[in-house]
């Protein structure tokens, strides 16, 4: 079901060329899967234009880019996590539409040059790479979460994954800690590798046993699943027309 939105004031956009032609090029075809935020199941949904997952898409989507219990909440307290795959299952950029007064202001980019919002000069501003992780914030109750990371952490993870001595990310004996810190006007994230043998001594956390890990792996997303659905053509056209009216 399309997201419900209420729109507010309009804004001016940069000069553009052949804007309607650019909009007509945007299409939303095919099917993909996504995880339901409440149940955690994977279900079939409609997709947008091709955007990918895996390491090849990290730099590509980042260059274009400039809720809920489903997602890992990173705090100022150091948290132990276990990454369940060696790469992201979903990589995308998002547009931020302030004119949306109700509903999500974040709109998944279809990918340049097919995205109607990109075609009229609205640049995607947020980068996301999504990983399935087990949160051990409460060691007694490990929980499967989606970790939506920005480009800085994504590139750190990519370096580790590509390093034969440090990777892959889902090595059986490898865990990570993550925390955030507010520095002036920016938030910085600190990621550290932790060997399984050091978990209990350094963090008071017992490693996942084989049976628990097997169950979490069975619930993971598949490569190419999407956590945020793109708008269909009608939804995109509604936003495009809103932004173009007073441009």
5 within a domain of the structure (yes/no): no
87 within a domain of the structure (yes/no): yes
d(CA 129, CA 156): 12
9 within a domain of the structure (yes/no): no
Q: Residue 74 pLDDT more than 60?
A: yes
Number of domains in the chain: 1
179 within a domain of the structure (yes/no): yes
pTM value is 0.72
Tokens encoding 64:
């274009």
C-alpha separations of 236 from 23, 30, 80 in Å: 9, 17, 39
88 within a domain of the structure (yes/no): yes
Q: Which comes out higher in pLDDT, residue 131 or 48?
A: 131
- Domain residues for the domain of 148 are 16-236
Q: Quickly state the pLDDT bin for 44 (edges 50, 70, 90).
A: very low
243 within a domain of the structure (yes/no): no
Write the pLDDT tens digit of every residue in 76-103.
Answer: 999 999 999 999 999 999 999 888 877 7
d(CA 230, CA 114): 12
98 within a domain of the structure (yes/no): yes
Q: Where are the beta strands (DSSP E) in the chain?
A: 6-7, 31-35, 42-46, 79-83, 90-96, 100-102, 106-108, 126-135, 143-149, 174-183, 186-195
Mean pLDDT of the chain: 78
pLDDT at 131: 97
pLDDT at 138: 92
113 within a domain of the structure (yes/no): yes
């Amino acid at each position: 079901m399309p997201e419900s939105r209420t729109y507010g004031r309009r804004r001016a956009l940069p000069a553009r060329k052949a804007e309607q032609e650019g909009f007509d090029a945007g299409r939303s075809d095919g099917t993909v899967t996504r995880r339901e935020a409440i149940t955690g199941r994977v279900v079939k949904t409609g997709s947008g234009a091709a955007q990918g997952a895996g390491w090849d898409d990290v730099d590509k989507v980042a260059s274009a880019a400039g809720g809920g219990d489903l997602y890992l909440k990173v705090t100022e307290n150091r948290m132990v996590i276990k990454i369940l795959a060696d790469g992201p299952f979903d990589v995308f950029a998002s547009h931020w539409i302030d004119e949306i007064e109700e509903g999500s202001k974040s709109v998944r980019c279809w990918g340049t040059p097919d995205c109607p919002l990109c075609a009229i000069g609205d640049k995607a501003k947020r980068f996301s790479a999504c990983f399935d992780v087990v949160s051990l914030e409460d060691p007694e109750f490990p929980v499967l979460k989606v970790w939506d990371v920005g480009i800085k952490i994504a590139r750190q993870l990519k370096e580790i994954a590509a390093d034969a001595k440090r990777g892959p990310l889902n090595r059986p004996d490898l865990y990570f800690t993550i925390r955030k810190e507010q520095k002036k006007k920016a938030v910085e994230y600190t990621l550290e590798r932790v060997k399984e043998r050091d978990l209990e001594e350094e963090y008071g956390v017992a490693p996942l046993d084989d049976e628990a890990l097997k169950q979490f792996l069975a619930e993971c997303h598949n490569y190419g699943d999407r956590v945020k659905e793109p708008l269909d053509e009608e939804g995109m056209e509604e936003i495009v027309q809103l932004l173009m009216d007073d441009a």
